[in-house]
Amino acid sequence: MVNNFNYHVPRTRYIGLIQTQFGLPDSAFLVGGATFWVSSMILLTAGTIFAMWLGERITDKGVGNGISLLITVGIIANFPVAFLQEVVSKTENAGGGGVMMILIELIVWFVVILLTVLLVTAVRKVAVQYARRTAVTNIKDVDGARQYIPLKLNAAGVMPIIFAQAIMFLPVALGQKYPALNSLADNFGLWYNVIFAILIIIFSYFYTAITIPTNKMAEDLKRSNGFVPGYKPGEETANFLDSVLSKITFPGSLFLAALSILPAIIVKFGVTQNWAMFYGGTSLIIMVGVAIDTIQQINSYLLNSRYDGLMKTGNSNRKSLK
């Protein structure tokens, strides 16, 4: 944990120093001059490093990824306020009809969560056959084990959305500077979301290509006497894995793009912006991903604890028999 923290601290410090100089609203300027800039840069950078350190401590001592848990808690903290604003806006004018609209919105929200869970957990299993091995005990062939390589439908996770949001700062800046491009400055506008969706699809392919080395996977299979049935070990297997990954990345990227622009679509149906943000984008994907990862780690911890308990019980029984 210490080495990982020391590795990321310098990069976090420089990134924090750069980000503190941009994107500040006019209401943030309580005092003028260099005093405000220096104090803000120090406070925000120190807060970023503290949050990273706290996340590392949670990862080291707790269950799950600490940074992801902190982000998830920050997202969930806005949920009650956003939901209450939506309830008030629907019920104060529509009365009983507003309650029905809230129920419909909740049903749609649960359906979106279900689809997001399917996106996060969906995998394409590529069958792998291992060569026959000779058992040493009775000198006879043992059938080769058949296993699978799980290729995720959305291997890039939320990174394409994060990259696309970073790039979209440029169209927003141009829209604010040039009135003719004003539609690009609206986060819920048509052209903003069209460009946003295209960037997500592009970055999905880009990030998947650089994070999943199919050539290395094929070489590892070849070294362990494994092969994909119907394909020769080595380059042919690597090309097959790359082809499968490209095919499953396309629907995954389309669904990720649709999920990212869903809040802009939901707003058109009269939903408040704060509540609409929980219908998609990085917020929903991070919450679902962290929840699934935490549940899996808790189940693994409970399974290990139960196994340790069984081992202790077995050892005590052996001692009693002696």
How many Cα atoms occupy the beta-carbon half-sphere of 214 within 13 Å? Answer: 19
Residue 80 burial (10 A CB sphere; 0-12, 13-18, 19+): exposed
H or E stretch covering 135? strand 133-135
Q: Are 227 and 129 in contact (CB under 8 A)?
A: yes
Q: Is 218 exposed, middle or buried (0-12, 13-18, 19+ CB in 10 A)?
A: buried
Which 3-state string (H, E, C) describes 263-297? Answer: HHHHHCCCCCHHHHHHHCHHHHHHHHHHHHHHHHH
Question: What is the DSSP code (8-state) at residue 132?
Answer: P
* Cβ–Cβ < 8 Å for 125, 149: yes
Instruction: With beta carbons less than 8 A apart as the criterion, state whether 74 and 42 touch.
Output: no
Q: Is-above-0.75 flag for pTM? A: no
Q: Which residue has the tokens 């291997």?
A: 155
* Nearest-angstrom CA–CA distance, 36 and 163: 30
For the segment(s) 105-321, the CATH number from 1.10.3370.10, 3.90.1150.10, 3.30.450.20, 2.160.10.10 is 1.10.3370.10
What is the 3-state composition of the chain as percent helix, strand, coil, each rounded to the nearest 5? 75, 5, 20
The residue type of 216 is: K
Q: Tell me the two tokens of residue 33.
A: 């001059």
- Which of 43, 34, 249 minimizes the C-alpha distance to 159? 249
**What is the pLDDT tens value at each position of the chain, 322 positions in all?**
444 545 444 555 455 545 445 545 556 556 666 777 777 778 878 888 888 888 888 878 777 677 778 888 888 888 888 889 888 888 876 666 778 888 888 999 999 999 888 888 888 888 888 776 544 444 444 444 558 888 888 888 888 888 888 888 777 777 667 776 666 777 788 888 888 899 999 999 998 888 888 888 888 888 888 888 888 888 888 888 889 988 999 998 999 899 888 888 888 888 888 888 888 877 888 888 888 888 877 887 777 777 665 556 555 555 554 5
Tokens of 80: 């009650």
Q: How many CB atoms lie within 10 A of CB 151?
A: 21
What's the pLDDT score for residue 98? Answer: 77
- Determine contact, residues 41/17, Cβ cutoff 8 Å: yes
CB atoms within 10 A of CB 215: 14
Cα atoms in the 13 Å half-sphere on the side-chain side of 271: 26
Q: Which residues are bridge partners to 134 per DSSP?
A: 141
